[in-house]
């Protein structure tokens, strides 16, 4: 019997990652028990070119975070997630949920992406200690000079 065991299972983790938080980091870590590779995909927002420079800097720092882990790669993409999934040869889209409002959004996206290309979305439920961490909260706290190191990736 032919086994496909040599085929690597690849998850595509798309997001804004503005910034990439410890919550995102845990999703990647946990997904590595389900997939051989995780591609972290920074979505380029064509309507917000002014954020591009900040995104490039964040992308560089996430690349550095995973520099020694060859299971994880970091990319940027302008366009639909389903097109990125095809281009990068991903088997599934990876997302996280923290609460019911995340869930409503995520189930819509999963449904749309399934209809567009037949790709599955794997949604991991945030651990309780991660559920209150959001990029927008980190941005807000940081803008007032608060220490946000607890919410950012552990090196």
Catalytic residue IDs: 24, 48, 98, 135
Residue with Cβ nearer ligand ADP (5 or 30): 30
Number of Cβ within 10 Å of residue 24's Cβ equals: 21
Of the two residues 1 and 100, which places its CB atom closer to ligand ADP in the complex? 100
- Residue 126 C-beta: closest distance to ligand ADP, Å: 4
CA distance 144 to 125: 30
CB closer to ligand ADP, 21 vs 113: 21
3-state secondary structure of 40: strand
Least distance in Å: CB of 22 to ligand ADP? 7
Q: Which positions lie near ligand ADP, rule CB under 6 A?
A: 15-17, 21, 23-24, 27, 95-98, 102, 106, 126, 130, 133-135
| Calpha distance 62→53 (Å, rounded) | 14
**By CB neighbour count within 10 A (0-12 exposed, 13-18 middle, 19+ buried), where does 124 fall?**
middle
């Amino acid at each position: 019997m032919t086994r496909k065991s040599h085929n690597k299972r690849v998850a595509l983790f798309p997001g804004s990652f503005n910034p990439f938080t410890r919550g995102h980091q845990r999703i990647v870590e946990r997904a590595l028990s389900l997939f051989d590779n995780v591609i972290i995909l920074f979505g380029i927002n064509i309507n917000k070119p002014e954020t591009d420079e900040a995104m490039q800097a964040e992308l560089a720092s996430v690349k550095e975070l995973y520099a020694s882990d060859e299971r994880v790669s970091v990319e940027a993409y302008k366009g639909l997630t389903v097109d990125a999934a095809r281009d990068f040869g991903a088997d599934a889209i990876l997302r996280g949920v923290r609460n019911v409002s995340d869930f409503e959004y995520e189930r819509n996206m999963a449904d749309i992406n399934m209809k567009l290309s037949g790709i599955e979305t794997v949604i991991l439920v945030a651990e309780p200690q991660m559920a209150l961490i959001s990029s927008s909260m980190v941005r807000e706290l940081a803008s007032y000079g608060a220490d946000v190191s607890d919410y950012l990736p552990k090196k």
